[in-house]
Structure 1
Amino acid sequence: MASAAAKRTRLFEKPIRLYSPEELGLLHRSAAQITAELRSETGRAQYLKLYSDYLRTDTGCMSLLRNSGSPFASHLGTRLYAVDVKNQFGSGSWLVRKARNSWSADQSDEQAFQAMLREVRENTKQGREHLSDVIRRQDNLKRVLTLFDASISGGSPTDCNAKF
């Protein structure tokens, strides 16, 4: 933990597949302490605040995208995937820009959504180096989309913590 603190890294916030053997050992040794902290009154309160903030900002981003026009106005998948990419990569603005620039009146919103999925699979470092993970996330997204109605609008656009 001291070396992570010295490097100002947030060790437990990176994907576990990227951990070194030393970092995996540290995680294993820390698991009981992490669990106890999360189950404490303070830990639960902090987690619930983080989760509430996440929902507020991400539903705000969904609403911001919905209000931004095609292909996001009427296609839940395009909005949800843009927010998922933002959460995964730290920014989804490049994907949103690409979707807007490539969308035309001759293209359906579903075609724009499929183009967004292809873009991440074929033209990102993550897609090239971890294709099975990208496909797994995209398949999960498609399953989630079957559970919701396209009218879901999200929260306040002013709560979005990203620029699309």
Structure 2
Amino acid sequence: MEPPQRIRKLISDDNPNDPDGLRALMEKLSPQEDGAEQRLIPLMRDAVMDRAERTSLRNAAREIGMSPSGLQKFLEGGMPYTKTIHRLRLWYLQHAGNAGNSITHDEALAALRVLVHDLPPSTRAETMEAMAGCVGQGYVRIRRAVPAWVAEIRDGRDR
């Protein structure tokens, strides 16, 4: 049975490693990542590479919750599925938290996205803005400078 024309159009990318076009279809149907997410991926890739070099590829893959072959493809520049990106983001946030450095705007945005991932898309941005506002109030209460990323996320910029 031949798939409908609109489906054939989606999977028409000829890829010898994906003869059925399933990977191409999944990538086209998955939500596109924004600029902040695109900037976070190389940071995650570097952190994973560092971890794999210090331990092993298998160990890093086990920590992240993905296959060693999938991790190898990611380290070689491949783009993982959305669910795997979520696992990588969780691992990265734990790893970055252990490094003891202040977090960047993109890392803060990734952390908030982890917290709101199961909310309806229509309420995620508003919830993230409110959470950033609460974090900002915490800094004000202790009379410390509010990080720039708090205002950027609270005002809905760079999403």
| Fold shared by both chains (TM-score > 0.5) | no
Instruction: Identify the TM-score tier after normalising by the shorter chain.
Output: under 0.3
| Bigger RCO (CA 8 Å, 6+ sep) | 1
- What TM-score results when the alignment is normalised by the length of structure 1? 0.25
